[in-house]
Amino acid sequence: MRTFELTYPHSMVLNELPETVTAIGFFDGIHKGHQKVIQTAVREAKERGMESAVITFHPHPSVVLKKDVQHVKYLTPIREKQEILQKLEVDRLYIIQFNQELASLTPQVFVDHFLKGLHIKHMVAGFDFSYGHKGKGNMQTIQEHAAGAFTVTQVDKVVIDGEKVSSTKIRNLLEAGDMDEAARLLGRPLSVTGFVVKGEQRGRTIGYPTANIAVSDETLLPKVGVYAVKVLYKNEVYEGMASLGFKPTFTDQLVEPVLEVNIFDYNNDLYEEELRVQWYTFIREEKKFSGVEELVSEIAEDEKKVRKYFNS
């Protein structure tokens, strides 16, 4: 998959671009609903013998449109998005920079510049996709704005257990620590990636070394607590337990929660290595223990629970 970052106006030359079938949307999380849109485009592209593409936006429109939002955290920061789209066999990814200027384009200019202008022959989007100034363009107006330059497929909402699959729903599940349900809606466990950094070197002294993972501040994390996780490292998958929290037993100085993983049946240096953590299930809330011994015996219990979870 090739990635292209575009601003308005872009300088792509129409007759140098392949004709594509393109899925368009913000697609945070690339959940089951998003997957249906993207897979529809990929399938259609194969049938037509064209390249498939995804158009997405960065940053999230709320950063630009709402005065109080400085920063948004994502279920899938750009890199995760790229990896998932690659696996879905998307050929081209166009990332359009979302800024004031983009937000003020009329629907017609948006369509002309970014859809016709990128050589799209068929567009696929969800039923609630909107575009152009104040989101005035939508799936009812798109044919008219396309004016025959491309055709359109509208994908209906995906419903699981009677509820619409949405990024908002998944965000709420993370906030509640419900990673099992989040995984059902995502079609895969949520994962985060980061490099191992030094902590206080205390873990090894209490029998539970923990790789402290520096996660980008764009990554949305679940609620604080202890979780069963899998760790992907150099193409191997390990089971383990994660602590996401403030380590109240030892300090009251942390302003952001720290992500640490104890990898089962593993003993090696991991500093500066890149790990991916897949969240499986919530085990318990973080606690402030009266001492190291109490903490360690609780962690031993956590280990039993996590091992049992993965063995059943």
Ligand X SMILES: Nc1ncnc2c1ncn2[C@@H]1O[C@H](COP(=O)(O)OP(=O)(O)O)[C@@H](O)[C@H]1O
243 binds, among ligand X, ligand FMN, none (CB under 5 to 8 A by kind): ligand FMN
Q: Measured from the CB of residue 297, what is the shortest distance to ligand FMN in angstroms?
A: 11
44 binds, among ligand FMN, ligand X, none (CB under 5 to 8 A by kind): none
User: CB–CB of 45/23 below 8 Å?
Assistant: no
Q: Give how far Cα 113 sits from Cα of 5, 11, 151, 180, 184, Å.
A: 14, 10, 16, 41, 37
Candidates 46-54, 68-76, 181-189, 199-207: pick the segment binding ligand FMN (CB under 6 A): 199-207
By CB under 6 A, name the binding residues for ligand X: 196, 198-204, 209-212, 262-263, 266-271
Tell me the angle at which helices 179-186 and 167-175 cross, rounded to the nearest 10 degrees. Answer: 160
**Helical ranges in the chain per DSSP H:** 32-48, 61-65, 78-87, 100-103, 107-110, 142-146, 167-175, 179-186, 292-311
Q: Measured from the CB of residue 148, what is the shortest distance to ligand FMN in angstroms?
A: 60
User: How many residues appear in the chain?
Assistant: 312
Structure tokens at 80: 């995760």
Structure tokens at 298: 């609780």
Q: Measured from the CB of residue 216, what is the shortest distance to ligand FMN in angstroms?
A: 20
Please, which residue, 95 or 258, has the CB nearer to ligand FMN? 258
| CB-based burial, 210-243: b 16+ in 10 Å, e otherwise | bbbbebeebbbbbbebbbbbbbebeeeeebbbbb
Which of 15, 140, 201, 253 forms a contact with ligand FMN (CB under 6 A)?
Answer: 201
Please, which residue, 57 or 227, has the CB nearer to ligand X? 227
Please, which residue, 33 or 209, has the CB nearer to ligand X? 209
CA distance 157 to 165: 7
286 binds, among ligand X, ligand FMN, none (CB under 5 to 8 A by kind): ligand FMN
263 binds, among ligand FMN, ligand X, none (CB under 5 to 8 A by kind): ligand X
Residues that bind ligand FMN (CB under 6 A): 199-203, 208, 210, 212, 226, 241, 243, 247-250, 260, 262, 286-287, 289, 295, 299, 302
